[in-house]
Amino acid sequence: MESLLSLAFDNLSSYDGPKVRKGLRQVEGLLAQICLSNANTKAKASPRNDRAHRGRDSDNDGSDTSSTPPQKDLARLSRDPAFREFFKLQEGFEWNVAMRLISTLDRLMAKGGDGGNDLLILSSLDLIQGLLLLHPPSKSLFAREQNMNLLLDLLEPYNCPAIQSATLLTLVTALIDTPINTRTFESLDGLLTVTSLFKSRSTAREVKLKLVEFLYFYLMPEIPSIPRADQRDSVPAMFQRSPSKLAGAFNADSRRKRSCSDPEGDAYLTTEEKQELLSQHLSSVEELVKDLRTCAPFGGVVC
């Protein structure tokens, strides 16, 4: 696996667009092999049932979907040897893919905007989202102001709506379960960036919808979670582990004291505290909070 990552990293570090595209595809291919079931193994195990299943698929939609392997659920994925090896490699700096993709994203943004470059930025954002979900400790990379600023820069009006929407999704992925990243986002005037984009008449409708979703997400109260290793029955044992060296390195310089700090130094804000912060930039926050309390998405809290 190290050799595959090495090839991908060499391409991702290039300033040549086609090489960067190749590196992104190599990372995507590696993640696909890890996250998708082995269809050939299933076919050998029960060829008759597999043929019957393909027949039903053809009757239902007129196409053969057997070429796309099914996804592994989280419990199965955590037991997969390839995933366990990948997860272990992500714990250090040398083989951490998210870190390499953030560097690639930085170089792509410096090149300026054109159609091909925008597609590479979108691919990078999609892969960063996936990697943060597969390896949650990598979220600690966005506790650094430099990395968080990359996402905020991608929300600027000169970027296309597709990039703005993808950036909002990546931002949610980076913030959820990691309040320390939210404090970095706030300290960099992230709320001003988001609300300014929302209030701008030039902002595309689909982006404004994503912004509303982001504001609902932001207003949810926080509870302590990563990098703590409390036992949770709903999470596979592999993910219930001590904080990684990667997370520790990036969190060490980013902890700030606030009124709602936990014993470890992280700050966890309530909806009321977030409402006060957001009200400095937006006038209709009270209505958003009312809707949030009525609907209670995600169980009413964000980890």
Predicted confidence (pLDDT) at residue 111 exceeds the cutoff of 90: no
> CA–CA separation, 172 vs 126, rounded Å?
12
Question: What average pLDDT does the structure give for the chain?
Answer: 79
Predicted confidence (pLDDT) at residue 133 exceeds the cutoff of 60: yes
Who contacts 48 (Cβ-Cβ below 8 Å, separation ≥6)?
none
Taking phi first (over 0 means left), then psi (-120 to 50 degrees means alpha), and beta for anything else, what does residue 147 get? alpha
Look up residue 37 and give its DSSP letter.
Answer: -
pLDDT of 69: 61
Among 125-129, 242-246, 285-289, the minimum mean pLDDT is found in 242-246
pLDDT of 296: 66
Taking phi first (over 0 means left), then psi (-120 to 50 degrees means alpha), and beta for anything else, what does residue 299 get? left
Q: Comparing 129 with 76, which gets the higher pLDDT?
A: 129
CB of 138 closer than 8 Å to CB of 99: yes
Among 75-79, 100-104, 222-226, the minimum mean pLDDT is found in 222-226
Q: Percent of the chain at pLDDT above 70?
A: 70
pLDDT of 43: 42
Tens digits of residue pLDDT in 27-43? 999 988 888 755 444 44
Predicted confidence (pLDDT) at residue 67 exceeds the cutoff of 60: no
Q: What is the mean pLDDT of residues 293-301?
A: 66
> CA–CA separation, 206 vs 157, rounded Å?
14
Tens digits of residue pLDDT in 140-190? 999 999 999 999 999 999 999 999 999 999 999 999 989 999 999 999 999
Predicted confidence (pLDDT) at residue 300 exceeds the cutoff of 80: no
Predicted confidence (pLDDT) at residue 248 exceeds the cutoff of 90: no
CB of 286 closer than 8 Å to CB of 275: yes
pTM for the structure as a whole: 0.76
Q: Comparing 7 with 244, which gets the higher pLDDT?
A: 7
* Other beta carbons less than 10 A from residue 104's beta carbon: 25
Taking phi first (over 0 means left), then psi (-120 to 50 degrees means alpha), and beta for anything else, what does residue 44 get? alpha
Structure tokens at 86: 């990948």
Place 301 in a pLDDT band, splitting at 50, 70 and 90. Answer: low
